[in-house]
Structure 1
Amino acid sequence: MARIELEVPPDENRGPRWSLLVKVAGAILSVLVVAFLIARITVISPHKSLFTLEDVTLYGFNVSNSPILITSEFQVTITSRNPNSHFGMYYESLDTYATYQGQQVTSRTAVPDMYEGRESTSIWTMFISGTSVPVAPHVGVALNRDWVINRLVVIMIKLDGQVKWKLGVIAKGSYHITVKCPAYIPFGTNGTGIYVGNNAIKYQLLQRCGVNFSR
């Protein structure tokens, strides 16, 4: 019996068609992954970071009268913890400063941008100071009462800036973050600080801070 052999010519278009198919499949997969991440961000609400004022080192705190001027210098240590198991945190354009009775008493100090990974903890050490900062008369009266009579001055350490949540390759829109950490500074014989240098006193506070996010 005669054997018949058939020769099928190669498909010259198979290579380009296969390459196009791979590109289309890759594009579809990328769109699906991005859609999944966006849906996950929408469904899973990230939690706020937890901030704690660990300690304050007071290098100087002076008040002059007529007019009332405050000169101060602090070093503060704040820890932040990202409690989210899915989201990282980007901190951008942060400033730190101190207020007393709602009035700013130091200059703003810029804080470097930082990324905080999932379920991780960061330590922030910052210097803040103000020289001859004028305050309103009623603030001066309250400060004199707290310092001279109560021997306890509550300075509010603040952080202001922007934060973004990151899930995979997706970063969720920027939010304004405000952190408020009350520093209870005792003066006189009731002081609980530790001398760490010439006229420098360190106060261990471990004070939980308030955190607010807004658009």
Structure 2
Amino acid sequence: MSIIHEVSPKHCANKKAINFPKLNGKFFYYLSTFFLAILSLIFLVWLILHPTKPQFSLQNAEINVFNLLGPYLLNSSIVVTLQSNNPNKKVGIYYDQLLLYASYGGQRITTETSIPPFYEEHEEKNLLSASLVGNLQPVDPSFAYEFYNDQRTGSLVVNFKVMGRLRWKVGTWVSGSYRFLVNCVTSMPFGPTGSPPFSLKQGTQCSTSI
């Protein structure tokens, strides 16, 4: 007759059972260590490459329609060309969800126009053209005062703004999406009669914030 060493069924079960909580703890420890190493590597590459934010400049703008319909409504039509520049030597840029509009006196004078998404290689430049339109665009009563005052002085200060999201690309790695804003401020002459068209045909540097 063989001798039974287990003193109770509970003791037998504990002896033959696998300690799953201990194995799960080790698994999550190794998994978290692996992901931490990957994130550290990405962060190190990011610090070494140090991507610089893109640069934009206003190349050309022409206001073809700019008419007040009473004190509260405006019709406008503007053709604008911007140049984008990726100054990075080793980092590419994806541009997504780009929207462009014009403002004057702190008020929008056109609706938002969508610009197709695109990718910009290292140290690459691209021209972005858009037609901006504002039909019966509502404006504040103060708009008319600024408009007629600028008409007398012969200069018109217009803001062109680009809103969108960008992603950095290093090799095959692509970062998450970052929101950015471009603001181009330019002064345009009214012309001899104070009526459109008004045009700007020289480059104006824009500010970019991320």
What is the TM-score normalised by the length of structure 2? 0.75
State the partner residue of 1:89. Answer: 93
Shift of 1:44: 3.1
Q: Paired residue for 2:206?
A: 209
- 1:175 maps to which residue? 178
| Structure 1 position 132, deviation (Å) | 1.4
What CA distance in whole angstroms lies between the structure 1 residues aligned with 2:159 and 2:128?
16
Q: Aligned pair 1:157/2:170, yes or no?
A: no
Matches within 5 A, 1:49-128: 49-65=54-70, 67-128=71-132
1:76, distance to aligned residue in structure 2 (A): 0.5
Question: For 2:170 and 2:89, how far apart are their aligned partners in 1?
Answer: 10
Instruction: Give the equivalent residue in structure 2 for 1:13.
Output: none
User: 2:53 corresponds to which residue?
Assistant: 48
Quick one: which of 138, 141, 146 aligns to 2:145? 141
Q: Which has the higher strand share?
A: 1
Over the residues paired in the alignment, what is the CA RMSD in angstroms? 2.2
Q: Secondary structure at the match of 2:45?
A: helix
State the distance in 2 between where 1:53 and 1:82 align.
15
SS of residue matched to 2:203: strand
Letter in 1 for 2:119: Y
CA–CA distance in structure 1, aligned partners of residues 193 and 93 of structure 2? 40
| Selected match of 1:185 from 185, 188, 192 | 188
SS of 1:189 mapped into structure 2: coil
| 1:75 Cα deviation after fit | 0.9
Distance 2:81 2:153 in 1: 25
Paired letter, 1:88 = G
Shift >3 Å, 4+ stretches: 32-38, 199-202
Deviation of the 1:150 alpha carbon: 1.1
Distance 2:102 2:43 in 1: 38
Letter in 2 for 1:172: S
Q: Which amino acid aligns with 2:148?
A: N
Q: Which residue of 2 aligns with 1:23?
A: none
* Bigger Rg, which one: 2
* 1:99, distance to aligned residue in structure 2 (A): 0.7
